[in-house]
Amino acid sequence: MTDSTAPTLTVGDIVAERTVHLTRESLVRYAGASGDFNPIHYRDDVAAEVGLPGVLAHGMLTMGIAVETIMPWLGDAGRIVEYGARFTRPVVVDAQDGADLVIVAKVGALDEDIARIDLTVTFADTAVLGKTQVRVRLGG
């Protein structure tokens, strides 16, 4: 009975939020860490060639940043049962100004010992991920 989060949760509660500033360096770092070297994530000329509005953040980078927002609250990655997202809008990372991702994590639904945490991830006031849901185990 060391868990202090479960008994007090209510649907609609914000459990975590943060803003992450992405730069081109962030994209190169993620490319190296993940092994995804698609040049649309670091080369303006290639991005333009394939008709993109600019160099884009990896969808998996955005998804990875989003879920980590709740980790300090959750305390243990082992509580995560399921995590899913749809990639709906691109995150254009400007060479000079970068891009700010704003993540808000809310309780979407509560079952007996499972909570569904709904993440909203916005860039320039537009949601970039759809149906971003984490199902987490509550209690010991």
Partner 1 sequence: MSVNPDLVGRAFPPTAPYLVGREKVREFARAVFATDPQHSDPEAARALGYADVVAPPTFAMVVQDLTLQQLLAEPDSGIALERTVHAEQRFHYTRPIVAGDELVARLRITNIRPFGKGAMVTSEAAIEDATGAHVVTATSVLLIGGEVA
Among 48, 61, 49, CA closest to 103? 61
**Under rule CB under 8 A, how many of the chain's residues touch partner 1?**
32
Q: Residue 41 has which token pair?
A: 């994530």
Among 63, 12, 9, CA closest to 34? 63
Nearer to partner 1, 34 or 126 (CB): 34
95 lies in the binding site for partner 1 (CB under 8 A): no
DSSP category for residue 51: T
72 lies in the binding site for partner 1 (CB under 8 A): yes
d(CA 71, CA 69): 6
Nearer to partner 1, 12 or 90 (CB): 90
Q: Where do contacts with partner 1 occur on this chain (CB under 8 A)?
A: 20, 26, 29-30, 32-36, 50, 59-61, 63-65, 67-68, 71-72, 75-78, 80-87
